[in-house]
Structure 1
Amino acid sequence: MANPVLIAVLLLPLGVFVSSLWGVFRNYRAARTIGLPIIILPISLTNLLWMMLVRHVMPLLERLPFGSGYFTRFCYTGWEFKDKSRAHVEFGDAFTSVTPGKNWVYLCNADAVTEIIRRERQGEFARPVEMLAMLDVFGPNLSTVHGKDWQRQRKCTTATFNEHNNALVWDESRRQAHQMLEYWMSAGESGTRTTADDVRTLALDVLLFAGFGKSFDFKGSKTKEKSTGPLSYRDALALILENAVPILAIGPKVLQRLSFVPGLGRLGQATIEFKQYMVDMLEENKHATDIQGTQANLLTSLVRAAVVDKQLSEDEVFGNMFVFNFAGHDTTAHTLAFTFVLLAVYPEVQDWMAEEINNVVNNNGSEQLSYDLFASFPRTLAILLETVRLFDPLLSLVKVSESRPQTLTIGDKDHTLPTGTQVLLNLNALQTHPKYWGDDGHDWRPSRWIKAGSVDGQEELITPVKGSYLPWGEGLRACPGKKFAQVEHVAVMVAIFREHCVAPVKLAGEDDAAAKKRTLDVVNDAGMVLLLQMFHPEKAALQWRKRV
């Protein structure tokens, strides 16, 4: 008599295969009605098991005879970074990716993108809430709710992002940058390999100061002490942010029950202690003598909304405290890491930026540059704009035709998208496509952002074609922290590059050209984890020195 367990084990792969085959067939029939070019993939990009294995499996698959086919080209999360605009030059402004799970329409047409963003206000397109539900780690938040709940939470949080807060960001970013530079300079000719870790610390310290009223001095990676006791608020949050993947995938409650698993115990403890810190901060601010008159930061705005205005629940306060830390920290940290390594490769861009910084300093007769001068640094801001153009942390924005089929004009044709179709606004393609950025759109060239000629000696930034540049989103769901991020990045650059410069540390036998190529390879060896990031930034050792 056959072993039923053995039969079940043998039938399981067959069942998965048949289910996947049926899913592809069903979705292919729906995709044909859209009328766009079709790419068929045998695995869904949102399959959790595949997402965990793909980075390890794909290098092996690429060596097989079909390694250059559509499967290895498109069948992994983050393929957009490597492919850039090539797929849309090849297949057109839009194409449909058919998978066993869903159909995905990849869109690279600025007019159609602008139309989708406009129609999102009317409820015709929406964010796929189920894809973002994992961000409900500590409670509902601005990233995971929609409709009236979103409007209510948006109103409670936007008061944080004002000019007073931007001035705090400016001052604290410069203070942290000076301390970070001092730490980097101490490494001498051997350079530092901790750039990515150190900018994570800087970004966290700025966020905690401007958003939560907590001040810390910068500590470099090698100066941090490993603790086995209770974690501070900053250390607990840092540990959570550094290990966001398992926390978002498993959830803090399950993680805490897995404390016996090596490596997870400390992380589970961090989620417990961070939640307790949030509870304590909420209670402390509840009993502030004059919460109504307190100068708003993110924390006081959330507490005021919960205690005075009765607009938020405590879980919503905790949820937003976490998601603003998560979203505001990692995007900034990864972008700073890319920027510093790129500047090391391109010394001429450092000189171009330093010229502007010194002109502003000299014209104002003081090194104590205030936030009022932020607009005087278009070149320095262009460094950020160009970096996120090519290294956008998100790669794409997802919208869905949620409630009914939607007709969308792409080029000169109308296409009807069935209910539930996922539309990916392919940011990496939009922001590199030769139609919008010229033949050198794949090159990192910050000067492209400066208008030819100037008025009264003041350079100005170009305005990209509407819908072709969306690193902070646009419309209803635009990132509320856009100015925060820009002010922070410019302030850090101003603090560091006025009197200092950076270069790759050369290995034995390398000349300048070889060292720059190797360092640029580190930059391009990047992909999606939760956001776009370099896989091995520690391979790019950077040496800092005083500018001659």
Structure 2
Amino acid sequence: MAHPLLLALLILPGGVLVSSVWGVVRNYRAAQSVGLPIIFLPISLTNLLWMMLVRHVIPLLERVPFGSGYFTRFCYTGWEFKDKSRAHVEFGDAFITVTPGKNWVYLCNAEAVSDVLRRERQGEFERPVEMLAMLDVFGPNLSTVHGRDWQRQRKCTAASFNEHNNAIVWTESLHQARQMLNYWKSAGEAGVRTTAHDVRTLALDVLLSAGFGKSFSFTAAQSKTSPSGPLSYRDALALILENAVLIFAIGPRVLQRLYFVPGLGRLAQATVEFKQYMIDLIDQSKHESHVRDTQANLLTSLVRAAVQDKQLSQDEVLGNMFVFNFAGHDTTAITLAYTFMLLAVYPEVQEWLAAEINHVVKSDDIQQWDYDIFPNLPRTLAVLLETVRLYDPLLSLVKVSEHRAAILTIGDKEHTIPAGTRVLLNLNALHTHPRYWGNDGHDWRPSRWIKTVPGEGASAGGEELITPVKGSYLPWGEGLRACPGKKFAQVEHVAVMAAIFRDHCVMPVKEAGEDDAAARLRVLNVVNDSGMVLLLQMFHPEKAALQWKKRA
């Protein structure tokens, strides 16, 4: 008689194969009823094992004759970045991928996308719960709850996103950017290879100041922390954010049981100490007699909701403190990293940007740069808008009508989408499709956002921003689930650009045998060597050294 373990090892792969084949057959039948072009993928993109292996497997498959085609083109998370709008130009505004797990409708039609987002208010096309559950690291939060729970939490957090807080963001961003610039200039002609890391420091310090009332020095953060001993609030959070994928995958409780594993002990300590820091901040705010009268930041808004209004539990406060740190930090830091690299590649855009900043900002004293100049910098904001158009940290928004079929109208045709089918709003395709952005939609050209107006326009220069076709540009989402930190992010990015590029410029450090054009092309290749980790980001930003100089 065969050994039971051996028998199980023989049966298990067969069972997986049969289950996969049956899943594909079932899903293919469902897809046929939708009436959209069908692309068959033999592996589910949400398969955890495949997600871990795919970056190593795909390059190998591309080298063999049978490895090309739809499999290597579409069968990995983040293929949308490389493909841009090509698939939708080829297959149409919508197509459906059939996998052993779920069927996925990819949508690139501005009118249909706007309709999907509008209908979320009616309980249709909501966020898939299982795809967001990993964000419940410290407790339920605005990103993971639905219905009345979402409405309650949104009301409790909305008060912190106001113009008073934006003014704090503006001032802190100017202050942090100047410190970062001085640090970069100290590297001299050798340049810095730490751009992506340094902007993480800046973004974290701005977030902690405006959101939690905690001030930190950018310069002090460059010193190495001790590999042992207690972690500060800032260092604990920084360590958690740098290892978010691992924490999401295994959870903080399991991580804490693995403290003895090399490399995990310090991270486990960070999760424990950060949670305690958050609890201490909550307790401190509870006992501040002026908490009701102070201008709200995120922390005070959450504490008021929990202590005075009895609207949030402590776990919900902790969960929202973490998720706003995560969502507000990584997206901002990634976007800043892309922007600095791209400006180094395109010196003419730097000059265009600096011309506006110098036209609007007359004083050399950065302390005199009040927040009220923000609306007068449309070019500076356009640099951000163009960067997230092409390098949006979120390549897509996923919606689902979980319990009933839904009608999706594309042009003059209606398609019945079976319950449980994932509808993916393909942001990267929308942001590059020639229908909305012209034949140069794949090019980074911030000036596309600016139009000249007669007489005195929205700014002193007679320029203002264009408004894209509704539904064609959604880096901060739209409708019910639009990002509450949109203005926060815009103010921060504009302030950082103004503080740095008014008097300074950036260029790639040339390697042996390179001229200026070759160096810029190499940096552009570093920028485009990007893909999804948890968000879209450059795989090797350290390969591009950037040098900073005073503008002549």
Deviations 1:209-236 (A, max 9, x none): 0000000010377533344110000000
- Paired with 2:257 and 2:160, the residues of 1 have a C-alpha distance of 36
Aligned equivalent of 2:56? 56
Residue pair 1:198, 1:220 contacting (<8 A) in 2 also: no
Aligned equivalent of 1:470? 474
- Paired with 1:415 and 1:349, the residues of 2 have a C-alpha distance of 44
Structure 2: which amino acid aligns with 1:100? P
Partner SS for 1:28: helix
What displacement does 1:431 show?
0.3
- Paired with 2:195 and 2:399, the residues of 1 have a C-alpha distance of 35
Aligned equivalent of 1:35? 35
Residue pair 1:403, 1:419 contacting (<8 A) in 2 also: yes
Unaligned residue ranges in structure 2 (runs of 5+): none
Partner SS for 1:114: helix
Aligned equivalent of 2:504? 500
Change (3 A) 1:295 1:100: same
Aligned equivalent of 1:211? 211
Deviations 1:421-445 (A, max 9, x none): 1100000000000000000000000
Structure 2 residue corresponding to 1:529, chosen from 533, 547, 551: 533
Aligned equivalent of 1:89? 89
- Paired with 2:57 and 2:455, the residues of 1 have a C-alpha distance of 55
Aligned equivalent of 2:328? 328
Residue pair 2:177, 2:499 contacting (<8 A) in 1 also: yes
Residue pair 2:452, 2:462 contacting (<8 A) in 1 also: no
- Paired with 1:454 and 1:252, the residues of 2 have a C-alpha distance of 57
Deviations 1:137-181 (A, max 9, x none): 000000000000000000000000000000000000000000000
Aligned equivalent of 1:428? 428
Residue pair 1:197, 1:221 contacting (<8 A) in 2 also: no
What displacement does 1:26 show?
0.4
Aligned equivalent of 2:390? 390
Aligned equivalent of 2:143? 143
Once the two structures are overlaid, the 10-residue window that deviates more, 367-376 or 92-101, is 367-376
Once the two structures are overlaid, the 10-residue window that deviates more, 405-414 or 196-205, is 405-414
Residue pair 1:183, 1:220 contacting (<8 A) in 2 also: no
> Which residues in structure 2 correspond to 1:230-309 (within 5 Å)?
230-309=230-309
Change (3 A) 1:365 1:76: closer
> Which residues in structure 2 correspond to 1:101-120 (within 5 Å)?
101-120=101-120
Partner SS for 1:160: coil
What displacement does 1:98 show?
0.6
- Paired with 1:272 and 1:394, the residues of 2 have a C-alpha distance of 29
Partner SS for 2:219: coil
Residue pair 1:180, 1:220 contacting (<8 A) in 2 also: no
Structure 2: which amino acid aligns with 1:97? T
Structure 1: which amino acid aligns with 2:75? C
Partner SS for 1:95: strand
- Paired with 1:248 and 1:273, the residues of 2 have a C-alpha distance of 17
Structure 2: which amino acid aligns with 1:379? R
- Paired with 2:474 and 2:123, the residues of 1 have a C-alpha distance of 20
Aligned equivalent of 2:178? 178
Once the two structures are overlaid, the 10-residue window that deviates more, 155-164 or 125-134, is 125-134
- Paired with 1:109 and 1:90, the residues of 2 have a C-alpha distance of 14
Residue pair 2:61, 2:68 contacting (<8 A) in 1 also: no
Is 1:547 matched with 2:551? Answer: yes
What displacement does 1:454 show?
4.5
Once the two structures are overlaid, the 10-residue window that deviates more, 120-129 or 387-396, is 120-129
Aligned equivalent of 1:225? 225
Deviations 1:454-497 (A, max 9, x none): 44242100000000000000000000000000000000000000
What displacement does 1:67 show?
2.7
- Paired with 2:452 and 2:62, the residues of 1 have a C-alpha distance of 44
Unaligned residue ranges in structure 1 (runs of 5+): none
Aligned equivalent of 2:488? 484
- Paired with 2:432 and 2:14, the residues of 1 have a C-alpha distance of 42
Partner SS for 1:63: coil
Structure 2: which amino acid aligns with 1:49? L
What displacement does 1:70 show?
0.5
What displacement does 1:59 show?
1.1
- Paired with 1:448 and 1:425, the residues of 2 have a C-alpha distance of 23
- Paired with 1:365 and 1:225, the residues of 2 have a C-alpha distance of 35
Give the alignment's TM-score, normalised by structure 2: 0.98
What displacement does 1:404 show?
1.1
What displacement does 1:366 show?
6.4
Structure 2: which amino acid aligns with 1:354? A
Deviations 1:54-110 (A, max 9, x none): 112111111111232101100100000000000000000000011100000000000
Q: Give the root-mean-square deviation of aligned CA atoms.
A: 1.2
- Paired with 2:489 and 2:355, the residues of 1 have a C-alpha distance of 23
What displacement does 1:12 show?
1.6
Residue pair 1:505, 1:541 contacting (<8 A) in 2 also: yes
- Identity among equivalent positions (%) equals 79
Partner SS for 2:548: strand
Residue pair 1:140, 1:319 contacting (<8 A) in 2 also: yes
Change (3 A) 1:221 1:523: farther
Partner SS for 1:460: strand
Once the two structures are overlaid, the 10-residue window that deviates more, 425-434 or 450-459, is 450-459
Aligned equivalent of 1:351? 351
Aligned equivalent of 1:441? 441
- Paired with 1:101 and 1:78, the residues of 2 have a C-alpha distance of 18
- Paired with 2:290 and 2:209, the residues of 1 have a C-alpha distance of 20
Structure 1 residue corresponding to 2:516, chosen from 512, 537, 544: 512
- Paired with 1:137 and 1:77, the residues of 2 have a C-alpha distance of 22
- Paired with 1:375 and 1:365, the residues of 2 have a C-alpha distance of 19
- Paired with 2:397 and 2:221, the residues of 1 have a C-alpha distance of 33
- Paired with 1:249 and 1:150, the residues of 2 have a C-alpha distance of 24
Residue pair 2:407, 2:415 contacting (<8 A) in 1 also: yes
- Paired with 1:417 and 1:488, the residues of 2 have a C-alpha distance of 40
- Paired with 1:481 and 1:222, the residues of 2 have a C-alpha distance of 27
Give the alignment's TM-score, normalised by structure 1: 0.98
Once the two structures are overlaid, the 10-residue window that deviates more, 232-241 or 366-375, is 366-375
Partner SS for 1:292: coil
Partner SS for 2:464: coil
Residue pair 1:177, 1:202 contacting (<8 A) in 2 also: yes
Change (3 A) 1:366 1:542: closer
Partner SS for 2:416: strand
Residue pair 2:450, 2:465 contacting (<8 A) in 1 also: yes
